[in-house]
């Protein structure tokens, strides 16, 4: 008969080593991400003020939150901001990508120019645009000096328009990146398909509208997901560009959460606003990630 198997120590160790190596990272994720999320969710049901306390108040914070004008301002601002930001970035990104894909001389120079804002901190971007848009010294002032006396551009000081300056600066920072995503998508399309469409008699416009753009679906999806989560997370840019002002005109959920939690001593309300932000992102990200990861089990 065959001798019994000796499953040696090394083999056993080798079997469990991979999981041991992964364990610290996974444990950290479980604690610092999911544990903390649970903690914040719990806090949102407590009467925490300046410090966490554990008196259960049920949905009280959420009720208060939705009764706050400031929160409604933040919500309507994020709706305006996110919509414009996503739509404009996608439009600019797609246009630039298609134009750049026409065998453009100097593409190697243009591409990094479109992309470099991505490397900057939102604080830097905010600072640059803050003064550039400042009516006293910036664009308006320059136009006046150039002789266009009636030129007026005071959005950043205007309660009704300030949110659009945030859109402008955010688009400036990210649209080049979206361009790169679409460009990669365009370069991935089989040239023979385009030739076939031309032989079928498609004009350039039809070619793009009927063949190319539909084939960019995955790039559209990725761009949307990335822009969406960036929009919800937007915080630094608002702080640097407008500080949430004038008044509360550019308050977003992210700045709302920070000020209610850390300066207005309403931690319970701050926590509940954070939970709503998370749920908004999860509603988009969870199905997206699930579909992405399920494809290749």
Partner 1 sequence: MGFLDISHVTKSYGNVQVLHEVDIAVQEGEFLVLVGPSGCGKSTLLNMIAGLEAISSGDISIKGRVINGVHPSKRNIAMVFQSYALYPNMTVGQNMTFGLEMHGTPKPERDRALAEVAKLLQIDHLLDRKPGQLSGGQRQRVAMGRALVRNPDVFLFDEPLSNLDAKLRVDMRTEIKKLHQKLKTTIVYVTHDQIEAMTLSTRIAVMNKGYVQQLGTPKEIYDTPANLFVATFMGSPAMNILPAKVVMQDGAPHAEIADADGARRLLRFSQANLAGWAGRDILLGIRPEAITDPEGADRKSANIQPFGNRVTVTEPAGSDTYVTMSLSGRDVIARMRADAAVVPGQVFDFAVNMEKAVAFDPATELRIPA
Partner 2 sequence: MSAVTQDTAVRTGRVTRTFIYLVLLLFALFYLLPFFVMLVNSVKPLAEITGGNMMALPRTWTFEPWHSAWSTAQIGVEPTGLKPYFINSIIMVVPAVAISTVLGALNGYVLTKWRFRGDTWVFGLMLFSCFIPFQIVLIPMARMLGLMGLAGSTPGLVLVHVVYGLGFTTLYFRNYYAAFPTELVRAAMIDGAGFFRIFWRIMLPVSGPIAVVSVIWQFTNIWNDFLFGASFGDQDSQPMTVALNNLVNSSTGVKEYNVHFAGAILAALPTLFVYIVAGRYFVRGLMAGSVKG
Restricting to residues 3-22, which ones interact with partner 1 according to CB under 8 A? Answer: 3-8, 10-11, 14
Burial class of residue 63, CB neighbours in 10 A (0-12, 13-18, 19+)? exposed
User: Which residues are 56's β-sheet partners?
Assistant: 46
Shortest distance in whole angstroms from residue 1 CB to partner 1: 8
249 binds, among partner 2, partner 1, none (CB under 5 to 8 A by kind): none
Please spell the DSSP secondary structure of 266-292, one letter per residue: -HHHHHHHHHHHHHHHHHHHHHHHHHH
Nearer to partner 1, 3 or 67 (CB): 3
DSSP 8-state secondary structure symbol assigned to residue 187? H
Shortest distance in whole angstroms from residue 15 CB to partner 1: 9
Shortest distance in whole angstroms from residue 136 CB to partner 2: 8
Shortest distance in whole angstroms from residue 5 CB to partner 1: 4
List b or e across 10-45, with b for residues whose CB sees 16 or more CB atoms inside 10 angstroms. Answer: eeeeeeeeeeeeeeeeeeeeeeeeeeeeeebeebbb
Spatial CA neighbour of 246 closest among 12, 48, 73, 113? 73
- Interatomic CA distance for residues 236 and 254, integer angstroms: 9
Say how many residues touch partner 1, by CB under 8 A. Answer: 10
8 binds, among partner 2, partner 1, none (CB under 5 to 8 A by kind): partner 1
285 binds, among partner 2, partner 1, none (CB under 5 to 8 A by kind): partner 2
DSSP 8-state secondary structure symbol assigned to residue 106? T
4 binds, among partner 1, partner 2, none (CB under 5 to 8 A by kind): partner 1
- Contacts to partner 1 from residues 13-72, by CB under 8 A: 14
257 binds, among partner 1, partner 2, none (CB under 5 to 8 A by kind): partner 2
Nearer to partner 1, 12 or 233 (CB): 12
Q: Are 165 and 156 in contact (CB under 8 A)?
A: yes
Please report, as ranges, the residues that interact with partner 1 according to CB under 8 A. Answer: 2-8, 10-11, 14
């Amino acid at each position: 008969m065959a001798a019994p198997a000796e499953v040696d120590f090394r083999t056993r160790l080798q079997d469990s080593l991979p999981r041991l190596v992964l364990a610290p990272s996974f444990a950290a994720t479980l604690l610092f991400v999911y544990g903390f999320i649970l903690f914040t969710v719990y806090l949102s049901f407590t009467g925490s003020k300046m410090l966490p306390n554990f008196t259960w108040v049920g949905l009280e914070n959420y009720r208060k939150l939705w009764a706050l004008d400031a929160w409604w301002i933040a919500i309507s601002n994020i709706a305006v901001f996110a919509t414009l930001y996503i739509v404009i970035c996608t439009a600019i990104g797609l246009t630039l990508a298609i134009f750049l894909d026409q065998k453009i001389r100097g593409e190697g120079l243009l591409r990094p120019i479109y992309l470099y804002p991505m490397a900057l901190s939102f604080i830097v971007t905010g600072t640059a645009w803050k003064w550039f848009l400042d009516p006293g010294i910036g664009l308006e002032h320059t136009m006046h000096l150039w002789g266009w006396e009636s030129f007026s551009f005071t959005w950043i000081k205007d309660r009704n328009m300030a949110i659009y300056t945030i859109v402008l600066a955010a688009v400036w920072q990210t649209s080049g990146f979206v361009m790169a995503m679409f460009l990669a998508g365009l370069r991935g399309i089989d040239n023979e398909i385009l030739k076939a469409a031309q032989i079928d008699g498609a004009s350039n416009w039809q070619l793009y509208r009927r063949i190319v753009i539909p084939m960019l679906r995955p790039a559209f999806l990725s761009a949307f997901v990335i822009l969406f989560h960036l929009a919800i997370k937007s915080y630094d840019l608002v702080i640097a560009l407008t500080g949430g002002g004038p008044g509360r005109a550019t308050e977003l959920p992210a700045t709302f959460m920070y000020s209610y939690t850390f300066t207005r001593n309403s931690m319970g309300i701050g926590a509940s606003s954070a939970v709503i932000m998370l749920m908004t992102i999860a509603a988009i990200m969870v199905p997206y990630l699930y579909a992405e990861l399920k494809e290749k089990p």
